[in-house]
Every structure is written in C-alpha cells, then in structure tokens.
Amino acid sequence: MDHQQTYLLNGLVTRQFGLGRIARFRLVKRGRQAATYEVMTAQQHEYLLYLYPPTFRTEQLAFTAGVLNGLDRERFSVVPMVAGRSGDFVGEGPQGNHLMVSLVTSGSAIEPAAMTVHDISQVGLRLAWMHRLLKEHVELPDPGPPLVEQVDSALQRAPLEGLSEQGRLNLLSALRLPNAGEPGWAHGDIQADALLHDGDRQLRTVVDWALLHAGNPLEDVVDALWMLCGHPRGGLDQAKAAALLEAYDTLSPLRREVWTAAVAQWAGQRVLDAAAGRRALPPRLAAIAAAPEQLAVVIASAF
C-alpha cells in the first residue's frame, strides 16, 4: 500500500481504537468481503484491520461484531472484534469505507480442488456447531418482508442474466414452499476463503461474517456443497458431498425432503446479495434458480 494510505489508516486506527503507534501495515488475504491488513504496533501487538466497502451497512457490521464476540466466549473459533474508544466496533475509513479491528489469527484457505474428504467433513461439523450456537445465543429479530417478495422486487429492478421468465416464476414458486426446518441464522458466505486452516489442515477459524442474517441455516450447507464440492463443469463430487452432509447430520439432523426449499432460499439470498453489491453471483446461479429441484435431487442422492 502507498505511504499516503498507510498514514491515513495509521491515524484512523490510532484515533478510533487507541492501539498505540502503528509500526507496520501489510495487506493480506483473509476472506473476500473486505480489504484486510495485518497491523503491528510498536508494542509488538498484532491485529487484523478490515475495510469493508460502503455496500455493507454499519449497523449490520456492528451487530455481527457483537455476535462474533459472543461466539468467541462460547469457544467457537472466530476472530473477536476490538471495540473503539467510543465503544463502537465500526468506524469510518477512507472514502466512506467501514473500519473494524480484530485480534490476530493465523491460518490460510485451501482451494476447493485441493480439499480432501477429511477437510470437507470438518466443514460439515463446524457448520452444524456454528448453527447450534447461533440459535442458542443470538435472538432472532422480528420477521421482515418474506424472502419471495424481496427476491421478486430485486429481479424486477435488475433481472438475472440467463434467467428466463419461466425460470423466475419457478424460483418464486419454490420460495413459497414451507421453510426447511426451524428459523435460525445463516453465515451467508461459506466459501474457501472464509475457512482458514492451520499447517496440519485443521479448520482453525471462520471469517467473512458480514452477510450473517436470520433465515434458513441450510443455505450455508447448500453454499458449502456448491462452492466446495462442485465440479467445474457442474454437479457435485458425490464423495465430498456425502462427507459434508454426514458430518453435519451428526450434530444437526437433516431431513431428506427439504432440499428444494433450501436451494431456492440459497439462490434467492444470493440474488439479493448480488443486487446490493455485497457478493458476486455463484457460478451457474441462473440455471439453479430456474430449477432448484434439480440441485435438490443431486444433494438428496448424496445423503
């Protein structure tokens, strides 16, 4: 990073978070939602600094920071956030970006193609544990507008490329199906960059929490299946998919008949995130959104 930006961030972090004199900033890869820097203070304390773009609302980021600190107290492996001098977790960064600070963590992502069945099984266990803790310790908000209404509005404003009118109607119809399981919380962005492993390939921590939302936890399972177990040309690696589902089921039992609703809700939420500029569309989303029952059959056949 250039000297001017270093000077600016140094002043912002020192003023808002009181970390003392900053000795080093270094841009690193930790997830994909924010620009992330390793920060070293003159006292040899290390932190991660996140700069989220303005598409992520400050209220949502502040709420998520509180949730992460609660999960950290429950010994779920996340990176706790540091509150600023005013008690807030989120400050204004350069050009309206949102600035947050967390305690430092180690770990790196594994590319999906390099993930073994054991790696995928760890993801399934971690997701189930995460969903149980969130449900037990984070109160659900009052229900907002139904997801089908939000998705319908988003598609009217910005049609999804490759999604025909009949496909749109199919997605909306699937979104009206009964919710798969009880309401809960979904991380919202389960992909390789959000899962950091140590040198022994043990899943160490989960990052990229800014899309945390009340909804169907099985959205995260569909996300993990498609983003981590998907073949480049379509379909799922059945051995990896089975490992993820079996591991998840040991802590949070799955029902076989719910997958069409879960896939539709996953696709609908991805449409909303892309429309707001918070997350890129997953590969082949239009085809999945047009016929969510097809991916649901593939998932059911793996479990």
Amino acid making up residue 224:
A
Per CATH, 3-103 and 112-301 having the same topology is answered: no
> Is domain 3-103 classified as CATH 3.40.50.10420?
no
In whole angstroms, give the CA distance from residue 244 to residue 303.
9
pLDDT at 75: 85
Domain ranges of the chain: 3-103, 112-301
Domain made up of 112-301: CATH architecture: Alpha-Beta Complex (3.90)
Residuewise pLDDT in 10s, the chain (303 residues): 456 666 777 778 888 888 888 888 888 888 899 999 898 888 888 999 999 999 999 999 999 999 999 999 988 888 899 999 889 999 988 888 999 999 988 889 999 999 999 999 999 999 999 999 999 999 999 988 999 999 999 999 999 999 999 999 999 999 999 876 678 999 999 999 999 999 899 999 999 999 999 999 999 999 999 999 998 777 899 999 999 999 999 999 998 778 999 999 999 999 999 999 999 999 999 999 999 999 999 999 998
pLDDT at 68: 95
Residue appearing with tokens 């305690």: 103
Q: Tell me if 121 sits within 8 A of 202, measured CB to CB.
A: no
pLDDT at 42: 85
pLDDT at 183: 86
HEC secondary structure over the chain: CCHHHHHHHHHHHHHHHCCCCEEEEEEECCCCCCEEEEEEECCCCEEEEEEECCCCCHHHHHHHHHHHHHHHHCCCCCCCEECCCCCCCCEECHHHCEEEEEECCCCECCCHHHCCHHHHHHHHHHHHHHHHHHHHHCCCCCCCCCHHHHHHHHHHHCCCCCCCHHHHHHHHHHHCCCCCCCCEEECCCCCHHHEEECCCCCEEEECCCCCCEEECCHHHHHHHHHHHCECCCCCECHHHHHHHHHHHHHHCCCCHHHHHHHHHHHHHHHHHHHHCCCCCCCCCHHHHHHCHHHHHHHHHHCC
pLDDT at 233: 76
In whole angstroms, give the CA distance from residue 195 to residue 203.
7
